[in-house]
Amino acid sequence: MLPASSDSLTHPCVAASLRRSWRRRRWRIAPLLTLPPPLHPPPPPPLLLSEKPADPHRGGAHTPDTCAKAIACFHTYPSKAPTETSRMIKNGHHHPQVNAGAVKDTATTPGAAACSPEKRRRKIRVWCDGCYDMVHYGHSNQLRQAKAMGDYLIVGVHTDSEISKHKGPPVFTQEERYKMVRAIKWVDEVVEGAPYVTTLETLDKYSCDFCVHGDDITLTVDGKDTYEEVKKSGRYRECKRTQGVSTTDLVGRMLLMTKAHHSNIDSSDYKQHTDNFGKKGHSPWTGVSQFLQTSQKIIQFASGQEPQPGDTIIYVAGAFDLFHIGHVDFLEAVHKLAEKPYIIVGLHFDQEVNRYKGKNYPIMNIHERTLSVLACRYVSEVVIGAPFAVTKDLIDHLRVDLVCHGKTEIYPDKDGSDPYAEPRRKGILRMVDSGNSLTTDAIVQRIIKNRLLFETRNQKKEAKEIAVIQAMKQKEEEKTKERAQAVL
């Protein structure tokens, strides 16, 4: 043992021990200056393609020839725990170009391939088809759901002759129906004259992965399922049918609306036929239930986009009842008035429409008209229950640059005043001629003219559906009996 004296500090053994202790303290104070490279260094910072990355396992400078090899090293070398960098790559928060290469399997892919441009993911192409006669928000909702199942939506529309053969005469011509479907904002492409029966040949011709239809049934003239072939092949998807609306229901509303104005029609048979329209039928697909508006449905249809700097805010107002090709042509013409248009449609309340239109208008209520207009690709926003007069407050609140009206009659306000007096005074009123004179009244006249044909069409359609339902029930009962016998 060393003597405990002041001289002991100068003893050679004590001095050596102090020097070793001092070195250890100095390492703790300044590790970056004196410590050797650690065995498990901290994870490297996010990699930029312009940098040469550090080797995450040796701590030294890693000098690969290409950034691809640098990226590959993060995945080729195993580690005990995932580093922060690997977590960022997995969650997609890394540099986009690095992430493109990182997701490749470097065990089978050369390092150089990791830096190649990311292969564009193949778009899923979806096929829908139908008559799309008297297009309403139910059709739009079906196409919205179909588009959500893929990336590119192709819609086939049948010809007049095909529809007449299998169902009965359509209300709108094929050219009108083609344009109506093109105006729906979820549609990417329209195939004119699509076959009534959907086949694998049609899907392959347009490179579609599968077709989508509602949870009802479509039958040929001889009662066969038009989607039988694609269902058997597994290239059929189904979406929910929109409750509360159908073409049959809308036709019924129009026929019921005319009874008070055609008192000379006393046929009891005709009265019985028209009374059947709009009421729930024996078929769950032909019959309709009450439509209930929800905030979620409006959100699904709305674009959710605010006007941007440089946009021209254009305001149009009206009933937009039975949203039809005349409305589409008008909105398209308005859309062409500006380079960056932001079109706001003001929809009048049902009571207001009935005041200036009379009879039993509107045929569609405010909630139904809202969805129909929101589905149009030319519309950016809808004011639900807009005031009849375009006032200064409305113009200032919506920051309107231009107010447009078509060639239809401008009805006076309740007090007899001009509802467009303020935009006239400001010089921002524009009268737009779309070149299409079709109105809701004209559509009603088409229905009345062919009322018995439409009634016959509906009866045939419902009879075929009931026959299919009975066959399905019988088949299900037989399967149940077979299962019961197998258990015994």
The pLDDT of residue 329 is above 70: yes
Q: Which residues are CB-contacts of 348 (< 8 A; sequence separation ≥ 6)?
A: 317, 318, 319, 385, 386, 388
- Res. 197: pLDDT tops 80: yes
373 and 234 both lie in a single domain: no
Element (H, E) at 312: strand 312-318
Q: What is the CATH number of the domain that holds 168?
A: 3.40.50.620
Distances in Å between the Cα of 192 and the Cα atoms of 81, 143, 155, 323 are: 58, 16, 9, 21
pLDDT of 411-421, one tens digit each?
999 999 999 99
Q: Strands across the sheet with 381-384, in order?
A: 381-384, 341-347, 312-318, 402-405, 429-431
Which range, 298-302, 322-326, 451-455, has the best average confidence (pLDDT)? 322-326
- Residue whose C-alpha is closest to residue 216's, from 468, 463, 31, 428: 468
Retrieve residue 253's tokens: 């509303």
pLDDT digits (tens, 9 = 90+) for 377-414: 999 999 999 999 999 999 999 999 999 999 999 999 99
Is residue 23 located within the same domain as residue 107?
no
Q: Report angle CA 13, 15, 20 to the nearest 5 degrees.
A: 95
Number of structural domains the chain divides into: 4
On the CB side of 237, CA atoms within 13 Å amount to: 19
pLDDT value at residue 427: 98
**What is the arithmetic mean of pLDDT over 48-75?**
40
Nearest to 373 by CA among 348, 354, 392: 348
Helix (H) or strand (E) holding 470: helix 451-487
Does residue 259 lie within any of the structural domains?
Answer: no
pLDDT of 469 above 70: no
Question: Which pLDDT value is given to residue 466?
Answer: 63
Q: Are residues 156 and 237 in the same domain?
A: yes
Span 442-446, mean pLDDT?
91
For residue 148, the one-letter residue type is: A
Of 130, 171, 190, the C-alpha closest to 377 is 190
> pLDDT-derived band of residue 253, with 50, 70 and 90 as boundaries?
confident
Residue where one domain finishes, among candidates 96, 120, 144: 120
**Which has more pLDDT, 262 or 117?**
117
- At residue 437, the pLDDT reads 93
Domain that holds residue 434: 295-442
What does the pLDDT average to over 117-136?
85
Note the pLDDT of residue 365: 92
What six digits make up the tokens of 35?
């410590």
d(CA 47, CA 366) in angstroms, rounded, equals 56
Whether the pLDDT of residue 50 is over 50: the answer is no
- The residue length of the chain stands at 488
Amino acid 23: pLDDT: 60
212 and 184 housed in the same domain: yes
Predicted pLDDT of residue 3: 47
Select the more confidently predicted residue: 275 or 146. 146
Q: Are residues 46 and 31 in the same domain?
A: no
User: Would you place residue 42 in the very low, low, confident or very high pLDDT band (cuts 50, 70, 90)?
Assistant: low
Co-location of 301 and 432 in the same domain: yes
pLDDT at 39: 52
Q: Which residue has the higher pLDDT, 465 or 399?
A: 399
- What's the mean pLDDT in 31-52? 48
Across the range 286-298, mean pLDDT stands at 68
Residue type at position 14 = V
Same domain, 86 and 28: no
Fill in the DSSP letter of residue 28. Answer: H
Judgement on whether residues 316 and 341 belong to the same structural domain of the protein: yes
Q: State pLDDT tens for residues 154-193.
A: 999 999 999 988 888 888 999 999 999 999 999 999 999 9
In a domain, 250, yes or no: no
Q: Is the pTM of this model over 0.75?
A: no
Same domain, 199 and 332: no
Residue 290 within a domain: no
Is 209 in contact with 150 (CB distance < 8 Å)? yes
Q: What is the mean pLDDT of residues 252-264?
A: 55
Q: Are 154 and 182 in contact (CB under 8 A)?
A: no
What pLDDT, on the 0 to 100 scale, is given for residue 234? 97
Q: Are residues 105 and 47 in the same domain?
A: yes
Which among 120, 150, 181 is the end of a domain? 120
Instruction: Report yes or no: 254 and 447 within 8 Å, Cβ to Cβ.
Output: yes
DSSP string, 198-248: --HHHHHHTT-SEEEEESS--B-TTS-BTTHHHHHTT-EEEEPPPTT--HH
Mean pLDDT over each residue of the chain, to the nearest integer: 76
What percent of the chain clears pLDDT 90, i.e. is strictly above it? Answer: 48
